[in-house]
Structure 1
Amino acid sequence: MKYTKITETPSLYDDLEKMDTTAILINMNKEDQKVAQAVAKVIPQITLLVDKLADRFLAGGRLFYIGAGTSGRLGILDASEIPPTFGMSHDRVIGLIAGGDTAIRKAVERAEDHTEQAWKDLMEYDITPQDVIVGIAASGTTPYVLGGLQQARKHGNLTACVTNNPGSPITENADIPIAVNVGPEFLTGSTRMKSGTSQKLVLNMITTALMIRIGRVKGNKMVNMQLSNDKLVDRGTRYVMEGLGLDYADAQKLLRKHGSVKKAVEAGKR
């Protein structure tokens, strides 16, 4: 299937080196303002994924992100924030990157070109039918991601993709394709810019909506967050104060005793 690779089309701006700093930043900002509008257009697809994901998650399934380069790093970033924010075990949302952990900080040459490696990486986690695999690739052609999604579908897993090229091969290999058309990059082909920003927004939406759906949020608060530093203990204390009408000292004592805002408030109401 032929398609136009939007992420490789020329920038709407030229002679960037002739712009002064203010002009560079203003024009970058103009392009960035298009990202949220592009993401809004794929909310129906994100909704479908979250609803199906929530059912599987409650049945013990997990969410896996697979990607290379910037896309892989964004998947790992989103996954790493789930335990401290929502108190979930680190093995429920997992990000995998072509080239392994070394590639998080340094590019691993040609790692993304291996079509079989993503499934091998996934198999180390004893994949089950309830697990959901989301491939992230701005280009929509990354072999590592394509191969992983193809194998996941063969094994009966629900698959989705986040890409910036509608009609690209990755959309043909995902049950739920999420294609965010942000247009050409300010710096031609530099998908760490608008494409990466759109991916970050979509991944935030997927996991935050998922955690709300499965009961990890109360009202508008992170009642299951890990109390891993003084800032979070202070935040949790204030949540308990609000929930029970206690003073700061009593609220913090109850919070430390029970280990989470949710448990502390439940205990205080008994």
Structure 2
Amino acid sequence: MSDDSSRFAALLAELSGLTTEAQTADRGDLDLLDTADLVRAMNAEDRRVPEAVAAQADQIARAVDGITERFRRGGRLIYIGAGTAGRIGVLDASECPPTFGTDPSMVVGVIAGGERAIRSAVEDAEDDEDAAIADLERLSLAPEDTVVGISASGRTPYVVSGLVHAGEAGALTVAIASNAGSATGAAAEIAIEVVTGPEFVSGSTRLKSGTAQKLVVNMLSTLSMIKLGKTYRGVMVDLLATNEKLRVRSVRTVSQLAGVDVDAASDALRRADGSVKLALLMLATGADAVTAARALGDADGILREAIARLG
């Protein structure tokens, strides 16, 4: 047997052992089902995902605490992945600035194959171990950073290589995979292995695995931002009002949380230069903008603490 044939056989055996590649006995008739039955069958599979995520709650909590602690030291959250997994990381990173008012450099998405791979498949990029190292070296990793590797199979060479490199740089490493005992999990300090089972269409990991990845990254970014004080009473208070919808949301948020009418909320936002958090602090304490801003800074941006300081 040639070297290529041996390598192919080994890879085939490896993939055959993955839960994400498995076939289920009751899926052979998908093409014969009517549309309503297809919808119900796929929805039944999707309902398994939240339960699988819940089983990893302790590991997710460890990751959130680690990310938050490093954020407080000026670190970054960096997602790295290929294909669907990479796009999910890029998506989560891109949504943090408008949602939480973060600098775009605070949460970063790195995808195998670069910008082109966000919209078009660059399938061989996931095998390039050296590219992962080069992509992370461009970010000048520091011990204050967290690198989260996302891979449904848990064996993507690009992701494994990136996690190993990040660990050597002293960064906290977290792996999100859909198979237990994954290579990415072994390469990371914290392994979040959400075993969602065989896919509705065998091997199509953009389905349940992708949904699980989205749920987990939602938790990692959102919960760490909550712990940093980016919300107040369950509402976003550091959002950037960059369009009409968000400007209206800002006024509505201040009005509801401060218990004032729309005109008073709008006036407070004007005096606060559009900052929801600062407007709320001014209305809650009667402080002027300068005093309120200083108190927020002293409270590390946590509104509850700033209110207590000025109360």
- Shorter chain as normaliser: what TM range? over 0.9
Aligned with residue 209 of structure 1, among 223, 229, 232: 223
Are 1:8 and 2:21 matched, yes or no?
Answer: yes
1:259-270 paired onto structure 2 within 5 Å: 259-268=274-283, 269=285, 270=287
Which residue does 1:113 correspond to in 2?
A: 127
Residue 42 of structure 1 pairs with residue 45 of structure 2:
no
Kindly state the Cα deviation for residue 250 of structure 1 after the two structures are TM-superposed.
Answer: 2.6
In structure 2, the partner of 1:76 is 90
Which runs of 4 or more aligned residues in structure 1 lie more than 4 Å from their structure 2 counterparts after TM superposition?
A: none
Question: Between Structure 1 and Structure 2, how many residues are aligned?
Answer: 269
Given the alignment of the two structures, is residue 182 of structure 1 paired with residue 196 of structure 2, yes or no? Answer: yes
| Structure 1 residues 16 and 248, CA gap change in structure 2 (3 angstroms) | same
Which of 147, 154, 158 lines up with 1:144 in the alignment? Answer: 158
Q: Does 1:253 align with 2:228?
A: no
Identity %: 47
- Residue 196 of structure 1 aligns to a residue whose secondary structure is helix
Moved more, 226-235 or 69-78: 226-235
Q: Which runs of 5+ in 2 are unaligned?
A: 1-13, 288-311
Structure 2 residue matching 1:104: 3-state secondary structure: helix
> Which residue is 1:132 aligned to?
146
Structure with larger Rg: 2
Q: Residues of 2 paired with 1:190 and 1:84: CA distance?
A: 31
Q: Which runs of 5+ in 1 are unaligned?
A: none
Q: If the length of structure 1 is used for normalisation, what is the TM-score?
A: 0.96
1:84 Cα offset (Å): 0.6
The letter of the residue matching 1:10 is Q
The alpha carbon displacement at 1:254 in A equals: 2.0
2:246 maps to 1:232: yes
In 2, distance between residues paired with 1:154 and 1:141? 19
The separation in 1 between residues aligned to 2:253 and 2:171, in whole angstroms, is 39
Q: Is this contact kept in 2: 1:64–1:96, CA < 8 A?
A: yes
CA displacement at 1:256 relative to structure 2: 3.5
8 A contact 1:217–1:223 mirrored in 2: yes
Is the CA contact (8 Å cut-off) linking 2:76 and 2:144 kept in structure 1?
yes
Deviations 1:65-101 (A, max 9, x none): 0000000000001111111111011100000000001
Q: Give the structure-2-normalised TM-score.
A: 0.84
Structure 1 equivalent of residue 118 of structure 2 = 104
What is the alpha-carbon distance in structure 1 between the residues aligned to residue 23 and residue 257 of structure 2?
A: 54
**Contact 1:5–1:168 (CA under 8 A) maintained in structure 2:** no
